[in-house]
Structure 1
Amino acid sequence: MEKLIPLFNKLQEVLISANISHIISLPQIVVVGSQSSGKSSVLESIVGRDFLPRGSGIVTKCPLRLKLVKSQETHEYGIFKHIPDTFFDNFDDIREEIKNRTADLVGNGKSISTKPIELTIYSPNVLDITLVDLPGIVKISVSGQSNDIEQSIRNMIIEYISNPDTIILAISAANNDLANSDALQLAHHVDPNGERTIGVLTKIDIMDRGTDAIDMLNGAVFPLRLGYVGVMCRSQEDINRNVTMKKHLLKEEKFFRESPVYGRYADRLGIKYLTMRLNKILQTHINNSIPAIKKKVHDELEANLEKLKEYGEALSSRDAKTGVLLSVIQKVAKSFQENIEGKNVRNVTEELMGGARINYIFHQIFVSGISKIDPLQELNDQKIRTAVMNATGLGSSLFVPESAFEILIKSQIPRLHEPSLNCMNLIYEELKSIMSKIEIPELERFKKLKDAVSEVINQLLASRLKPTRKMIDRLIDVEGAYINTHHPQFIGGSKALVTAQSQLRPAAQEPLIDKSILPQPIIQKKKEETIMTSSSWFSFRAQDAPKSDQEEEKIPEKPKISFDFVGPPSNLQPSSKMTPEEKEQIEMIKILIKSYFDIVRVNIGDLVPKTIMGFLVNRSKDELQRELVKKLYKEEQCDELLEESDGITQEREKAHEAADGLRKAIHILNEVREYKISE
């Protein structure tokens, strides 16, 4: 088991080098505490050397990732990741380098940085542990610090300790109330059940007389599953007197062993026990995390290999470029065809796509739409009556004039034209939408090629609109060119008459006769009157008419009658009063119009979708590949069309780097497995 931590340190180095450490989270211990909690003293005691910068205010301004590696060598030294070729065997120099690196990352101000300093210390006197020291929690900002520095530090701490693979080392001063511990409050925020938090109680030796930390150490105040460890920090006096860490650890051991309060717990107190406890916790946590880490590494490797497949290899030769160009053309044409035919549709349960949407437009939008058109919507009884009278001319008709019916039905057929064109336009837009949703990796890789392909397809679709519209126009025209009254589904005159009569009167009722239209005397024996018929353009006046019967006998001469020409009005309309025969005629024509319009409606509902499929959809589908080859497959265009999009080269390099790192990570994880088996 001792090899687990070194192997995971090696694993972490591989992931960091491949820039994927943020993707694969590894178990680590994060140190959290306030500025006055004794956090730095605990870390230095674990290392056994003074190496951290000290001073007032915020000294730790960025994360310090500290790896302790137990070495077989007799001397101790440290290596910083940002200067890996420099070995520091003087820990005062390590302290200065931490200051210098902090200044580089943060500047000379009093702000903080999230970028970590990475330091590895090799020593025969340490156990393998990886610790991340974070800036101390502050309550308020001081002069020169940003107003939000308190929140910035808290946000940084939360980001680190929210990782479920992280062990939280919460440091609190024993001489303060644990309920007010900033470290424990933040730990409780992300680990409410205390499953992965270990508490460290510092300054036990300077608690008020008569008080002790037994209840806190036993978890009675703030319970944690991993428990608490009490330690004794070096005093400022010891630091000023340069008391060595070795002497301090001996002093701590003596304090706990000889204490009447803590003596019986001495084997579970102090820095030495804390170090062993952390080492054991980290090993156990790593061991439990191995299966999940392996799965994550394998999943990420597959994802990166898929990215590399999408990016493809860099194209250097002309033959390679022309090959890719032809392959893209074939893929686009095939995808366009399969989307229309429903062979390559994704998210099939979410919404209608491709050919299914075209079918929906034909039957649910177009056919359903034209079925709702009322063929008599623009024809009222007066208009029909006028048409009949105009078709009759000077004569009168006992039956419905065929010419009147033809004129009226021909005026209604063009109402199907606009819905037919709307259907064509909807299909046109749907075809463009199908193209826009084609997903081919090369099109994302080569943006100029994608734009060129879209342009060719749009031009092809637009070119098919004109012949499609022309054919639709002809369909409407031919329906009006000849009114086939012999059509087997046409109701016919006799049936229409019977239907009209049944709608206008009951079967037992006498025939409709309007006595008001019977002939009446034109001239009556009055002194003077004017008579006007409904269809006459003339008026006449009786002059010198006899005043009485007696006077009439005395007048041998005929009355003189004079005629004055009046002429018709400019907009002559029939009288609004209609005879029963006229009502019957109008009803017959309505029935005939409805019957024949339904025949035309069915024809158009069938032929317009066929026309759109034949002239627009199928022709576009069949001609697409040939058109793409004709417009794009040119040697002089290859370099321009296959110019990679901005960032693709960099993304390919990142994917290669990540894939290499993940392969190395898998190899390291296999070493862990092999070691465990040998145990």
Structure 2
Amino acid sequence: MSPVITLTNNREILQKDSPIVYSYNDQIIPLLGAVDRLRDLGVMQEGVNLPINLPTLVVIGDQSSGKSSVLESLAEISLPRIRTRVPLILMLQQNNQEEISLKYKNTNLLVTENHIAEAITKATEEVAGKGKGVCKTPLTLIVKKKKGIPNLTMIDLPGITPLPVGEQISEIIMDYIKQEDVLILNVLSAASVDFSTCESIQMSQKVDKTGRRTLAVVTKVDKFPEDVLDKVRDNIGLGYICVRNRIGDETLQEARTKEARLFENHQILSKLKKSMAGVPALAERLMYLQSKAIVKCLPDMDSKINEKISSYSNELNKLPRHLTSFVEATTTCVRIIASSKTSLNNILFEGLFNEYPRHMDMMRGGSVRIVEMIDEYNKELEGCLNIIDNGKDFLVDELERLEKPIEATTLHDLYFSLMESHVDRISMIPTNFVEKIWKYLENVIITVLSKFDNYPQLVFLVELAAKRLVARKKKLSVDWVNDIVAMEKSTHFSSDPEFYKWNSQLSGQRNEIIQIINDSSRSNWNVKIEGFGEVDVGHLRGCKRFLAQAFDLKMWVFARWKLVLKRLSDYIPMHVIFCVQKLVTEEFDGILGDLMEPNSENGLQWMLESSSVANERRRLRNGLMVLKWSRDVAADLKRKFGE
């Protein structure tokens, strides 16, 4: 028997392989070769998925439409000439170990090529019984060969029939064709009056409304050629291809030869387009659709590669800069300190903080935030003005102290004792305020330094030095504040003329207030006292002893207490603001000197890169190299196979 002559693209080709093997070698192998090259480059290890498996071909159609004949014509494997009653999964695989096996239930049966049909018939009876019943349990025929076979999966399903098992068959078919990754091969007999009304077409249209994965195959055109040309003009899915079934005892080679002659010489069928006639045309179309399934993944793959390249580049840029010399490390450190100093000045004194959008709450005008903390501090001090009453009625506390029989206690001794007690009660307010300001400054400095995340080894050292500087300044401030508080407790001095004037005004009310208290004719004992507002003095009626001294003591303490709060309210914030300004404008530059040591070990420390960072840099660079190579291969793949 001479080789078969088939027509493809109006060229005669000497075809020795089966139609599907020939088309597979012609169209799919080069495509898969390019995909294999991408796989060998290691692009999948970089998180880019490759189109590995070809879509499965699912063959459906009416009973006796010639489904199995189409399948065996494509693969050149003899299948049973009986009605298909169970799904038959035909897996063709290139493999170094050649064998044919049939799997069903728990059976794995090795068969020879000449006994495939017999083995399938026997297995069908075991699975579905010897009657006409159908079963959804599949048979899997695995054909492994070293060459002359494509890596392809085809599924032959039971034919649609109006018999009682028809509903069960429909369920089996729908289970397979509803999967989005299958191509539906809808086999129609030329004897059908109207293809569009065929049940198999209607079923495929339910799951594939656009017809993008449905190809119609018209069989038995040699027996019913009359209306074929009209029937295949209708738009249906991916179109039609007409084939001639193997008849009787014809070999597959004989059937192919007769089919080629039929479409070449038949008065009607020869008018079909070459791309619509014959098993070779069907195989070529199927392989085109298979390759298209891979090609449609190319844009997504290309996009994923570019996304990964961009992601890796960004990650690489975020890694710490690899400093190569002591000079480079020192220069970079100077730049970090100078830039940070400018940013601190903008934030704390100019109210500019736009370069830190992620830290708006903390950075929103450092000067404003400091003023807010000063306001909070002053309000807390103002709330302490009334602690001199100790929760008791007017002059009660002072009278109790004067009436205590403590030897050698003078009015001035009581005055000093009360002032020391009052100052002691608020002594932590200034200290807490100062510590709060320095803590805020430390947080601002750390945030400012965070923008240099490309140099974490330098930022870490600068941050430590900055924290040491802030800690020193805070200790000096706290010590100074403690001294101020201690002075207020032990040294009762003021040259403030306003204080003396105020003290004189307060004490000058004594005689008038005592006269009111002693006036028994009064019915209202609420009197207005300078500095205290309206005060109820009714509880002081009849009190003669120590009343004048108690009043003088109250007024002295009150005047002095207002002066203490005023001085703490002014001097402490002024001191802190001055120290913060001095740190930023004068002392921050000294961080570099704190980092530098007589030997170069510290400089070497700046340049050292941790093993984890070095490994990550190496991984990203290698990944970028793989991705860029893969991008070139994918671009070439697109040029050759893309539409």
Aligned equivalent of 2:107? none
1:213 aligned partner, one-letter code:
S
Partners of 2:416 and 2:302 lie apart in 1 by 82
Aligned length: 463
Q: TM-score, normalised by structure 1?
A: 0.50
Using the TM superposition, give the Cα deviation of residue 375 of structure 1 relative to its aligned residue in structure 2, in angstroms. Answer: 3.1
Partners of 1:388 and 1:177 lie apart in 2 by 109
Using the TM superposition, give the Cα deviation of residue 646 of structure 1 relative to its aligned residue in structure 2, in angstroms. Answer: 2.5
Using the TM superposition, give the Cα deviation of residue 12 of structure 1 relative to its aligned residue in structure 2, in angstroms. Answer: 7.9
1:345-385 Cα offsets, whole Å, 9 max, x none, are 75426533358568635633752563354133264344333
Cα gap change, 1:409 to 1:20, in 2 (>3 Å) = farther
Aligned equivalent of 1:76? none
Equivalent residue for 2:285, pick from 273, 278, 299:
273
Question: In the TM superposition, what are the counterparts of 1:639-678 in structure 2 within 5 Å?
Answer: 639=604, 642-664=607-629, 667=632
1 or 2, which has the higher helix percentage? Answer: 2
Aligned equivalent of 1:385? 399
Q: Is the contact made by 1:178 and 1:222 (CA closer than 8 Å) also made in structure 2?
A: no
1:220 aligned partner, one-letter code:
K
- 1:625 and 2:580 equivalent? no
2:498 aligned partner, one-letter code:
P
Aligned equivalent of 1:228? 214
Q: Is the contact made by 1:464 and 1:615 (CA closer than 8 Å) also made in structure 2?
A: no
Equivalent residue for 2:373, pick from 364, 368, 373:
364
Aligned equivalent of 1:468? 477
Q: TM-score, normalised by structure 2?
A: 0.53
Partners of 1:389 and 1:245 lie apart in 2 by 132
1:274 aligned partner, one-letter code:
L
Using the TM superposition, give the Cα deviation of residue 179 of structure 1 relative to its aligned residue in structure 2, in angstroms. Answer: 8.0
SS at match of 1:229: strand
Partners of 2:618 and 2:377 lie apart in 1 by 55
Q: Is the contact made by 2:313 and 2:624 (CA closer than 8 Å) also made in structure 1?
A: yes
2:329 aligned partner, one-letter code:
L
- 1:512 and 2:517 equivalent? yes
Structure 2 gap segments, 5+ residues each: 1-25, 61-67, 78-86, 102-152, 160-168, 190-196, 219-245, 267-271, 522-539
1:66-101 Cα offsets, whole Å, 9 max, x none, are 9xxxxxxxxxxxxxxxxxxxxxxxx442769xx9xx
SS at match of 1:512: helix
Partners of 2:428 and 2:48 lie apart in 1 by 61
Equivalent residue for 2:326, pick from 314, 319, 322:
322
Q: Is the contact made by 1:336 and 1:621 (CA closer than 8 Å) also made in structure 2?
A: no
Question: In the TM superposition, what are the counterparts of 1:405-484 in structure 2 within 5 Å?
Answer: 407-434=417-444, 437=447, 438-439=449-450, 440-444=452-456, 446=457, 453-480=462-489, 481-484=491-494
Q: Is the contact made by 2:57 and 2:183 (CA closer than 8 Å) also made in structure 1?
A: no
1:47-68 Cα offsets, whole Å, 9 max, x none, are 9699xxxxx99999xxx9x9xx
Using the TM superposition, give the Cα deviation of residue 672 of structure 1 relative to its aligned residue in structure 2, in angstroms. Answer: 8.2
Aligned equivalent of 1:304? 312
Using the TM superposition, give the Cα deviation of residue 627 of structure 1 relative to its aligned residue in structure 2, in angstroms. Answer: 0.7
Moved more, 594-603 or 634-643: 634-643
1:275 aligned partner, one-letter code:
M
Cα gap change, 1:338 to 1:314, in 2 (>3 Å) = closer
Question: In the TM superposition, what are the counterparts of 1:277-296 in structure 2 within 5 Å?
Answer: 277-280=289-292, 283=295, 286=298, 289=299, 293=302
Moved more, 470-479 or 175-184: 175-184
Q: Is the contact made by 2:54 and 2:294 (CA closer than 8 Å) also made in structure 1?
A: no
Partners of 2:261 and 2:590 lie apart in 1 by 88
1:308-366 Cα offsets, whole Å, 9 max, x none, are 44547867xxxx33134314532542454355333777542653335856863563375
Partners of 1:590 and 1:250 lie apart in 2 by 126
Equivalent residue for 1:214, pick from 197, 201, 223:
201
Question: In the TM superposition, what are the counterparts of 1:158-237 in structure 2 within 5 Å?
Answer: 173=157, 176-177=169-170, 181=174, 187=180, 199-201=183-185, 212-217=199-204, 219-220=205-206, 223-224=209-210, 226-229=212-215
Aligned equivalent of 2:562? 595
SS at match of 1:622: helix
Cα gap change, 1:623 to 1:636, in 2 (>3 Å) = closer
Q: Is the contact made by 2:507 and 2:555 (CA closer than 8 Å) also made in structure 1?
A: yes
Equivalent residue for 2:41, pick from 8, 12, 17:
17
Using the TM superposition, give the Cα deviation of residue 492 of structure 1 relative to its aligned residue in structure 2, in angstroms. Answer: 0.8
Partners of 2:202 and 2:412 lie apart in 1 by 111
Aligned equivalent of 2:104? none
Equivalent residue for 2:337, pick from 333, 353, 360:
333
Partners of 2:560 and 2:629 lie apart in 1 by 82
- 1:374 and 2:384 equivalent? yes
Using the TM superposition, give the Cα deviation of residue 645 of structure 1 relative to its aligned residue in structure 2, in angstroms. Answer: 1.7
Partners of 1:626 and 1:355 lie apart in 2 by 31
SS at match of 2:55: strand
Using the TM superposition, give the Cα deviation of residue 635 of structure 1 relative to its aligned residue in structure 2, in angstroms. Answer: 2.3
Question: In the TM superposition, what are the counterparts of 1:607-626 in structure 2 within 5 Å?
Answer: 607-610=574-577, 612-613=579-580, 621-626=588-593
Q: Is the contact made by 2:31 and 2:641 (CA closer than 8 Å) also made in structure 1?
A: no
Cα gap change, 1:220 to 1:182, in 2 (>3 Å) = closer
Using the TM superposition, give the Cα deviation of residue 387 of structure 1 relative to its aligned residue in structure 2, in angstroms. Answer: 5.5
SS at match of 1:492: helix
Q: Is the contact made by 1:174 and 1:203 (CA closer than 8 Å) also made in structure 2?
A: no
Using the TM superposition, give the Cα deviation of residue 585 of structure 1 relative to its aligned residue in structure 2, in angstroms. Answer: 4.6
1:276 aligned partner, one-letter code:
Y
Cα gap change, 1:359 to 1:418, in 2 (>3 Å) = farther
Aligned equivalent of 2:536? none
SS at match of 2:43: coil
Q: Is the contact made by 2:596 and 2:603 (CA closer than 8 Å) also made in structure 1?
A: no
1:600 aligned partner, one-letter code:
R
1:353 aligned partner, one-letter code:
M
Partners of 2:382 and 2:56 lie apart in 1 by 74
Equivalent residue for 1:93, pick from 67, 92, 96:
96
Cα gap change, 1:313 to 1:628, in 2 (>3 Å) = closer
SS at match of 1:177: helix
1:20-57 Cα offsets, whole Å, 9 max, x none, are 675556778763699x9xxxx99x9999699xxxxx99
Q: Is the contact made by 2:431 and 2:478 (CA closer than 8 Å) also made in structure 1?
A: yes
Cα gap change, 1:582 to 1:435, in 2 (>3 Å) = closer
1:177 aligned partner, one-letter code:
S
Partners of 2:73 and 2:580 lie apart in 1 by 79
Partners of 1:597 and 1:276 lie apart in 2 by 94
